[in-house]
Structure 1
Amino acid sequence: MKENKSNLKTYFIILIIVVALLIILAFYKINFGNSQLLKEHCAMLPGADGCEKYLGQYTETSQTFTRSIEGLSLVKESTIYETSKDKVGQLEINPVKKEIDGKEIRMYGYNSQIPGPLIKVNQEETIFVNVTNNLDMETTVHWHGIRLKNEFDGVPMTTQEAIQPGKSFLYELNFPDAGIYWYHPHAREDYQQELGLYGNIIVIPNKDDYYNKVNREEFIFLDDIQLTGGDITPVYKDKINQVLMGRFGNVMLINGKESYDVTVKKGDVVRFYLTNAANTRLFNFSIENTKLKVIGSDGGSYESEFFVNSIIVSPSERSVVEVLFDKPGEYKIKHVNPDNTYALGKVKVLNENTDIDYSSQFSIIKENKYVREEVEQYKSYVNRSPDVNLKLDVDLPGMRMMGQNMQMNHADESGLEWEDVMQMMNFGSSNNLIDWKITDTKTGLSNMKIQYKWKVGDKVKIRITNDENSPHPMQHPIHLHGQRFLVLSTDGIPNDNLVWKDTVLVPTGKSIDILVDMTNTGKWMTHCHIAEHLSDGMMFEFEVEE
């Protein structure tokens, strides 16, 4: 009996010890998690409360990029590069200084220009561009949306070696498709593009009646930049920050400037080519007291024109709109979302009649017969089952480590997130804590573990679903390299007005079917074009063979 009591006492003591150890382990885990999160947070905001003990880790090392403006030349105005004059263009990538929000800061520019030179080429033309890297970091140039030879696509470790400081690379560019395209880095895009590395390419159609006649054309880059204390908010060499939502800027820019002004005559019809170069921000573009006539997108014209009051352009997307200014005065250019209204610039209309009156044609909705004839053969794919199902999702291992399970859904009824409504959490997020994912639902493989192989001539239907039940559902602009596609339907509702695309915005909770026309051999990238999500690894490769 005494022996039994002694055993029970021993078991009881062991039980108490085990429970105590579990409590200590749980306490340690929570505090370790909080400590890790605090360290990540302090890396982004070293001056914040509670970061004193970590200050030395982030101020005594060289984790940030060079921000000095000493010896730098001022940024230059953008120029036009016309290939009829020279078949070999020169692009030098240079650090420059530029005044933004009253402070001169270090920026980057192609040929010291922000935006870089506008490249004008003819459809089916081939040119060469020699790129020289004068930065203190490696880079490449990606020719966004162009169906060019694979080795010139500008993706480091996939199509080329990165261009090291002081080195050059000769790109061969062929342009099979009319439309508005752009070029930008594909190395630390979250930093280099933020600092001004972007430029447009306009491919002039080989059909004279492909577009309407207009009085003038304007090329607009929509962008923002995030400033803190008179410079950009720190970006780090050894990690990607603001990964949760992407880097929302607090200063709006058009063509790298805080205000855009253009003067036209009364009765002028102006064609605006819009490109969103922001890291993550959506733009809802409008010009007050006007109607926008939408005629095209990434890779050319829509089947049919249509009128809107405003148009949403997501990161890397392009939109082509025409506007009639029939009365003199000033027209404000705005970005309006459910949370805020931003003034981006203005159009001044002189009380002087236009040189050529196109106003009567402006009111007519036209069909583009060339596009309609080309895409007709693909409409039967609407009812075909998808070949591939992809899910967009996020894993938050840093939050799981602390035992937190919550959903952060701040999208509006359209599934779009317009502002950084979780600034502190976003600032404290990094690629060490967050994993954005593109997942093949059949295999369960995600991101670079996905390896598709197709052949030239294949028509591949891909269904992309943005999981509304993920820990942080938000929209994703998904970009395919080297090919073009049609958006067939959204949530099963067929799209009756097709246009060739290379980027599609997938809102929270939506399923979008695209049809990719595989025409271009090589290994190609597909990724989210929110720069921080791309840098976090939200991408995969596919290969097209003969």
Structure 2
Amino acid sequence: MKSLLTSLFILNIRTSISFTSLLIGLAIITGCSASPSTTTSPSSESPSTSVHTEHSMSMDHIGTTATAPEGSVTKRPTQITTPPQTITSKMINLTAQTSYLEIEKGKYLPVWTFNRSVPGPQIEVTEGDIVTIHLKNKLNVPLSLHVHGVVLPNDMDGVPGMTQDAIQPGDSFTYTFKANHAGTYWYHSHQDSLNQIGKGLYGSFIVKKKQDSVSADHTLVLDEWSDPNTTAPESESNTLAINSNLGAYNIYTVNGRSGKSIEPIVVHQGDHVRLRLIHAGNMTQTLYIHSPAYRVTATDGQDINQPQVLKNGLLVIAPGERYDIEFTADQVGLSWIGMVGESTFAQSVRIPILIEKANSQPTATEIEQQITAHQAQMVSIPDGNQATLDLTTYGQPTTSEFTLSSAFDREYTLDLDMGVIDGKMSYTINKEAYPQVSQLKVKTGEAVKITLINESKNEDHPMHLHGHSFEVLSKNGQSLTGSPIWKDTINVRPGDTYVIAFRANNPGMWMVHCHELHHASMGMMTDVIYEDYKSQYQPDPEAGNISE
């Protein structure tokens, strides 16, 4: 037992997983109880215990973890995923169905797909378009569709038990909304999302500007997978406890491809290139951008004012976040994006960016030969003090809607932590776990300020607000000195405090939750409720709605 604990502790340091989560996993393995130093339980007299009378959903999943992943197979299955397509129509048909993803050469992972691909098809529309998505469910479980980051009507938000019933097997649902704001977004199931996104139910949603200067536009969706049939080096084996789910993330992918199967980005000299980074997984990742001159031009679909030129820098991207990177392909040769980390999992993520001569059309074999010739260059991150992008100082100041001294109609503080609630290990907001967490009440037109404090010792909490974008006003007591930063997902790292603000201009019932979905499924969720809004939706108690 002592040797097991020692091995797990060493593993925990290597993989940046909280020791508290480690003890949870160890407790389940050994049959012992594990409790943090501070335990809380809500008072039976607390007014927050009846806060969810406005909607109905199953809460049986709260405090549970991810289901055990199905293992990969080596025999080629009959149904294999196809490469993701790009849909440019404003009328989109999506079908959820099972398939197998060739996640490595000769290794096939059972997945759930939209239109038989992982990621699902990239949906591309233009700002101002009226978009209609018709979703057919051919799975044997209910599901839904949430378009993450797009400000849309409440009844189109795709949260089972709050805005709609989960779409039952064999049924369909149609989502219609206007794509008002250009930017990088993504869509995914919001029914039992820890497991359903984990099986592949997601895709990119791109709203293009009516006029755009880029000549090459590429989307990169990051994810992590658990495959019990993939064996990692002994020093990195993490099949006992990771991220509270007793499962190993031992395959990292870009657009559904891993390792040497990751497709290169091929552009031409003179191209103005945009790379859209989307994080669909559950682990905060650091990327090394090997480029002599690039800018981070947007985050979460919101432009950054006059971003400075960066060189060979680091970018931290958390679950649910998006970043746009732009550069001009000046010199023929190879640039690349690499994931930072000592593990082979991280080192396997190398995205080649091949700049070819203008008007050249290299064959697939020629591209592969060029990348192979530079393979050694991409193995490790160069030594030195690469700068990590700090959004609080990046770009140039300009007028914006809020400051710390603005008058706010409502102010809330959300302390993010862990605790034992009703005998279950939970991720908490203000010492409570969903659905007991007090709701954030607002009225249309109000200015709302929220202070987010991460009390966790080792775990990030990327907090996502549905239906709105918010302005980041300060970090750890310091106001932003660069561009105004608007986001819908903000990563609150251990010990950090952020103050954010938004205008309550989209009436409805909206979720606020951690997009590290183990945390959400274990209680780190609450709701923004407009007091002057009355929903017409009546939940079906038999629908099996799971809002997380």
Matched, 1:181 2:169: no
State the 1:333 CA deviation.
2.1
1:313 corresponding residue in structure 2:
317
Change (3 A) 1:246 1:372: farther
Over 3 Å counting, the alpha-carbon distance change for 1:387 and 1:228 in structure 2 is: same
Tell me, in whole angstroms, the C-alpha distance in 2 between the residues paired with 1:119 and 1:296: 19
Question: 1:329 is matched with which residue?
Answer: 333
- Partner of 1:447, secondary structure, is coil
Moved more, 289-298 or 335-344: 335-344
How big is the shift at 1:110? 0.8
Tell me the CA shift for residue 80 of structure 1. 1.5
RMSD between superposed Cα atoms in Å: 3.2
Deviation at 1:493, TM superposition (A): 0.9
Q: 1:106 to 1:304 in 2, by over 3 A?
A: same
Distance in 2, matches of 1:504 and 1:229, equals 34
Mapped contact 2:68–2:247 kept (Cα < 8 A): no
TM superposition shift of 1:307: 3.1
What is residue 79 of structure 1 aligned with on the other side? 85
- Contact 2:72/2:229 (<8 A) preserved: no
Change (3 A) 1:64 1:72: farther
1:96 aligns with 2:99: yes
SS in 1 for 2:168: coil
Bigger RCO of structures 1 and 2 (CA < 8 A, at least 6 apart)? 2
Contact 1:91 1:129 in 2 (8 A): yes
Aligned pair in 2 of structure 1 residues 378, 465: CA closer, same or farther (>3 Å)? same
- For residue 486 of structure 2, give the secondary structure of its aligned residue in structure 1: coil
Q: What does residue 393 of structure 1 align with? A: 417
Structure 1's 135 and 67: CA in aligned 2 closer, same or farther, altered over 3 A? farther
Give the whole-Å Cα distance in 2 for the aligned partners of 1:248 and 1:290.
35
Match of 1:292 among 284, 291, 294: 294
Deviation of 1:186 (Å): 0.9
- Whose Rg is larger? 1
* CA deviation profile, 1:318-360 (whole Å, cap 9, x unmatched): 00111233222222320114776443221122244799xxxxx
**Counterparts in 2 of 1:166-177, with a 5 A limit?**
166-177=170-181
Instruction: Specify whether residues 291 and 226 from structure 1 end up closer, same or farther in structure 2 by C-alpha distance, changes over 3 A only.
Output: farther
Q: Tell me which amino acid in the other structure corresponds to 1:457.
A: G
What is the match of residue 486 of structure 1?
471
SS in 2 for 1:203: strand
Change in Cα spacing, 1:302 to 1:218, as seen in structure 2 (3 Å) is: same
Secondary structure in structure 1 of the residue aligned to 2:487: coil
Distance 1:332 1:167, change over 3 A: same
Match 1:498 to one of 452, 467, 484: 484
The equivalent residue for 1:132 is 136
| Corresponding position of 1:447 | 434
CA contact (8 A) 2:69 2:226 kept: no
Post-superposition CA distance 1:47-67 (Å, at most 9, x none)? xxxxxxxxxxxxxxxx86777
Aligned-partner Cα distance in 1 for 2:508–2:300: 22
Q: Which deviations, in whole Å up to 9, do the C-alpha atoms of 1:210-229 show, x marking residues without a partner?
A: x6x22210011011212221
Match of 1:152 among 136, 149, 156: 156
Q: Is the 8 A contact 1:480 1:526 kept in 2?
A: yes
Alpha-carbon contact 1:282-1:314 (below 8 Å) kept: yes
Distance 1:37 1:121 in 2: 48
| Partner SS, residue 435 of structure 2 | helix
So what's the TM-score if we normalise by structure 1? 0.70
Query: How far off is 1:372 after superposition?
Result: 7.7
* Counterpart selection for 1:533 from 519, 535, 540: 519
Aligned residue among 415, 429, 443 for 1:438: 429
Q: Which moved more, 1:302-311 or 1:514-523?
A: 302-311
**2:270 alignment counterpart:** 267
Partner of 1:466: 454
Between 1:505-514 and 1:487-496, the stretch displaced more is 487-496
Q: Give how far 1:380 is off.
A: 5.6
- Which string of whole-angstrom CA distances, capped at 9 and with x for unpartnered residues, describes residues 112-143 of structure 1? 12211111222232221111111121111111
Q: Which amino acid aligns with 1:486?
A: E
Say if 1:171 and 1:142 are closer, same or farther in 2 by CA, change over 3 A.
same
Change (3 A) 1:287 1:377: closer
After TM superposition, list the pairs within 5 Å mapping 1:320-359 onto structure 2. Answer: 320-337=324-341, 341-352=347-358
For residues 246 and 153 of structure 1, the distance between their equivalents in structure 2, rounded to whole angstroms, comes to 31
Q: Is the 8 A contact 1:386 1:463 kept in 2?
A: no
Partner in structure 2 of residue 405 of structure 1? none
Tell me, which stretches of 5 or more residues in structure 2 are unaligned?
1-24, 34-66, 233-240, 362-395, 534-548
Q: Which amino acid aligns with 1:38?
A: T
Cα deviation 1:233-261 (Å, max 9, x = unaligned): xxxxxxxx955389662222110111121
**Between Structure 1 and Structure 2, which shows a larger proportion of helix residues?**
1
Displacement of 1:520: 0.9
Partner of 1:250: 250
Deviation by residue 1:251-282 (Cα, 9 ceiling, x = unmatched): 2211011112122222333100110011x212
Consecutive unaligned residues in structure 1, runs of 5 or more:
1-32, 42-62, 233-240, 356-370, 399-431
Counterpart for residue 460 of structure 2: 475
Could you tell me how far apart the structure 1 residues matched to 2:351 and 2:147 are? 28
The answer on whether the counterparts of 1:304 and 1:497 sit within 8 Å (CA) in structure 2 is yes
**Secondary structure, counterpart of 1:291 in structure 2:** coil
Q: Distance in 2 between matches of 1:505 and 1:395?
A: 20
Distance 1:92 1:229 in 2: 28
Query: Which deviates more, 514-523 or 389-398?
Result: 389-398
CA contact (8 A) 1:109 1:197 kept: yes
What CA deviation, in whole Å up to 9, does each residue of 1:3-43 have, x standing for no partner? xxxxxxxxxxxxxxxxxxxxxxxxxxxxxx998652599xx
| Aligned-partner Cα distance in 1 for 2:154–2:202 | 21
Give runs of aligned pairs for residues 98-247 of structure 1, distance below 5 A. Answer: 98-101=101-104, 102-206=106-210, 208=211, 213-230=213-230, 243-244=243-244
Structure 2 contact 254–349 (Cα < 8 Å) conserved: no
The 1-side partners of 2:479 and 2:461 are apart by 21
Contact 2:289 2:337 (8 Å CA) reproduced: yes
The aligned counterpart of 1:283 is 285
Specify the SS of the correspondent of 1:532: helix
2:273 counterpart letter in structure 1: V
What is the DSSP-based 3-state SS (H/G/I as helix, E as strand, rest coil) of the residue aligned with 1:193? Answer: helix
Aligned partners of 2:445 and 2:505 also within 8 Å: yes
Q: Distance in 2 between matches of 1:372 and 1:506?
A: 23
Instruction: Select between 293-302 and 64-73 the one with higher mean Cα deviation.
Output: 64-73
